[in-house]
Chains A and B, each alone.
Chain A
Amino acid sequence: MEAILKSALPILILVVEALVLLVVALLHVAYTTYAERKVIGHMQQRIGPNRVGPRGLLQPIADVLKLLTKEDIVPLGADRSLFYLAPLISLVAGATSLSVIPVWDKFVLANVNVGLLVILALSSLSSYGVILSGWASNSRYAFLGGLRASAQVISYEVAMALSLVGVMLMAGSMNLAEIVRAQTATPFKIYAIPQIVGFFVFMVSAIAETNRVPFDLPEAETELVAGYFVEYSGIRFGLFYLAEYFGMVVMSAVAVTCFLGGWAGPFEVPGIPFFWFLVKLYALLFFYIWVRATLPRYRYDQLMGLGWKILIPLSLANILVTGLLKLWV
């Protein structure tokens, strides 16, 4: 009996850790939507949600309850199995990336040697959700949205992967915890300064990867109604919504680990070892929201031009320069 307990204990701890991470991440996702509405509200001289709970703080919970109780409609011409599968793929691919991100020195769910590549792999898988939902809905709007999304995600994935190569070169590792440790050993403490070009390319392509303004062409509501998820309702729509914000949180967390020094900060905060990680994460999430409130949507050819003609050459040049510096300095 005791032997079984002993062998099951590590698995049990892992499960508990995973659950804690998931719940915390879900809370973050829920309150990111709240923060977004509040911040954009204030930027547009409005108040934002303020009815549910004090200062509208219970608004995300009310939203979730509303989505859960709404009717779940499947269009008649839709391919049922894929229609059901698509939002799950989006969400799972986004959420799984969290497992390789080191929140602090001693808390990383899966300390994988090729952690950075795992994140890239999962973000490339998440495009399936968008593409499949567009196809399975059997609707023209959704179809066009899916088509745009696949072209966009493929293009910007290249730029994103290339922008991270500079970080891999500087750190000499693809393990995310190692990357953070390598950063704190450099004179600047963060890679955002020597890798400023990579950081810029990463942030731009991260916004494009998560299909957000100004790159939200797959769901451009003024022309495509809502793009790929136009036929979804109730909780299935909620899953897509969740996946988008999960993507935001994950991309911000990757940027924090790869460019902003992860959990390391100017001084130790007693009791909360992941304090600096969260501060940086919130700053980047605010940046996302800020961008949404500020910039208008790109035109489709501008989007593709930006990706292929500016970001990819920039990140290739960045790799070259980083490699040369690494060789001679």
Chain B
Amino acid sequence: MEKVLFGYLCIAMLGSALLAVFSRNAVKAVLWVLVMFLHQAVLFLTLQAEFLAVVQIIVYAGAVLVLFLFVVYMINLREEVRLPNFVSSYPWAFIAAFGLLVLSVAGLSGYRTARAAGVLTPEALLRYGHARILGEHLFREHFLAFEVAGVLLLVAVLGAVVLVRRIREGAI
């Protein structure tokens, strides 16, 4: 049962990702990404990671993609521009992609499942829930990284505000 579900999720995710890339309509491309995100959330659920699944939907589907949609919205979609599909140097791209494929197959051949490390054992997760364990780790051990990420994002937000603000004549 789980294997069937996993197979379905994989196919659906790959399919929707491909549809998103090949879709000519930008709004529909965004929607295919949404479909992919929802499947990804279900994949997290099958791994008992409820918190991750919900955060995936809140952050990616609910915030990031809506902002994408907001931008794409402005494009007038009735006029379609058709450009040649490949730039002239495409053979190099194929060679690079093939090389990456070979490398990843080589990497996968030595694959072993990781052992549960630290306190994040399945038993602890089942007992305390993801949110609690994640929170404790984030705010105790990785506190500095967490704060640094927060400051970086704040700087980005301030930068965006400064960029879009119109400077009025005379006012400094």
With contacts A114-B50, A128-B34, A135-B73 taken as known, whether A174 is within 8 angstroms of B131 at the C-beta atoms is yes
Q: Is B9 part of the binding interface, using a Cβ–Cβ cutoff of 8 Å?
A: no
Q: Which chain A residues lie closer than 8 Å to B129 at the CB level?
A: 113-114
Q: Which residue of A lies closest to B129 (CB)?
A: A113
Q: Which residue of A lies closest to B34 (CB)?
A: A128
Separation of A161 and B73 alpha carbons in the complex (Å): 26
Inter-subunit contact B61/A125 (CB<8 Å): yes
Q: Is A321 part of the binding interface, using a Cβ–Cβ cutoff of 8 Å?
A: no
Most buried by A among B28, B67, B131: B131
Which residue of B34, B51, B66, B73 contacts A117 across the interface (Cβ within 8 Å)?
B51
Separation of A120 and B63 alpha carbons in the complex (Å): 11
A220 to chain B, nearest CB (A): 19
Within 93-151 of B, Cβ neighbours of A (below 8 Å) are at 129-131
Most buried by A among B34, B51, B62, B66: B62
Chain A binding surface, main DSSP class? helix
Q: Is B43 part of the binding interface, using a Cβ–Cβ cutoff of 8 Å?
A: no
Q: How many residues of A contact B (CB 8 A)?
A: 25
The 8 A CB mask of B53-97 against A (1 = contact, 0 = none) is 011011001110011011001000000000000000000000000
Q: Is B12 part of the binding interface, using a Cβ–Cβ cutoff of 8 Å?
A: no
Q: At the interface with chain B, which of A65-73, A145-153, A288-296?
A: A145-153
Separation of A118 and B55 alpha carbons in the complex (Å): 9
Inter-subunit contact B51/A114 (CB<8 Å): yes
Chain B interface size, under 10 / 10 to 19 / 20 to 34 / 35 or more: 20 to 34
Which residue of B31, B50, B62 contacts A113 across the interface (Cβ within 8 Å)?
B50
Q: Which chain A residues lie closer than 8 Å to B69 at the CB level?
A: 128, 131, 150
Q: Which residue of B lies closest to A174 (CB)?
A: B131
The 8 A CB mask of B27-49 against A (1 = contact, 0 = none) is 11001001000000000000000
Given A121-B57, A121-B58, A150-B73, 20 additional A-B pairs, CB 8 A: A82-B31, A113-B131, A114-B130, A114-B131, A117-B54, A117-B58, A120-B54, A124-B58, A124-B66, A127-B62, A128-B34, A131-B69, A131-B73, A132-B27, A147-B73, A150-B66, A150-B70, A154-B66, A154-B70, A157-B63
A residues adjacent to B (C-beta < 8 A): 82, 112-114, 117-118, 120-121, 124-125, 127-128, 131-132, 135, 143, 146-147, 150-151, 153-154, 157, 161, 174
